[in-house]
Amino acid sequence: MSGIADSDERLRGRCLCGGITLSVPAGAHAIHACHCGACRRWHGGPALVLQAVDDLRIETGDTLVRRFASSQWAERAFCGACGSSLFFHSTGDGQHYLSAGLFDAIAGARFESEIFIEAKPDWYALEGAAEHLTGEAFLARIGAG
């Protein structure tokens, strides 16, 4: 890994106030956009997240992390000081979907898909995703449908 990766090859990010720093393994992360109503309410617009990461480390500010149970199978975490949304945590399989905006640069990232495409309002559009999936198709793919 080059550039932004540290010697132990982790990608590091932080919340807006800097109270929370976290890291995930460096690598060519896939990015998903989610247009579902919960994500848009949570993020203020479509969510842009790193695909499932099972090795998330909260490096500093662990006591600032607040968790909100947004459904029976997921929780959403945010910074208790500045409100930055940190990640979506799928409690069934333990995967985390990190907010892409926490990271200054994500070397090798690729925009893989837009999901819950049927929930996207008409007044914006994104470009560059390799595929577009309905919520039903996405949930079926991850075995949650």
Task: Report the chain's C-alpha Rg in angstroms.
Answer: 15
Listed in sequence order, the residues at least 6 apart from 29 whose beta carbon sits closer than 8 Å to its beta carbon are 11, 50, 51, 53, 106, 108, 109, 110
**Per rule CB under 5 A, is residue 77 in the interface with Zn ion?**
no
Facing residues of 48 across strands?
33
Among positions 4, 30, 81, 129, the unique one binding Zn ion when judged by CB under 5 A: 81
Give the C-alpha separation, 126 to 98, whole Å: 19
Q: Supply the DSSP symbol for 141.
A: H
Query: Does residue 30 touch Zn ion according to CB under 5 A?
Result: no
Of the ranges 11-19, 51-59, 105-113, 128-136, which one interacts with Zn ion (CB under 5 A)?
A: 11-19
Of the pair 83, 108, the CB lying nearest Zn ion is at: 83
Phi and psi at residue 137, in whole multiples of 5°?
Answer: -65, -40
Stretch that binds Zn ion, among 14-22, 50-58, 96-104, 127-135 (CB under 5 A): 14-22
* Residue 17 is a binding residue for Zn ion (CB under 5 A): yes
Question: Looking only at residues 34 through 63 of this chain, which bind Zn ion when binding is defined by CB under 5 A?
Answer: 34, 36, 39
11 is a contact residue toward Zn ion (CB under 5 A)? no
Q: Give residues in contact with Zn ion (CB under 5 A).
A: 15, 17, 19, 34, 36, 39, 79, 81-82
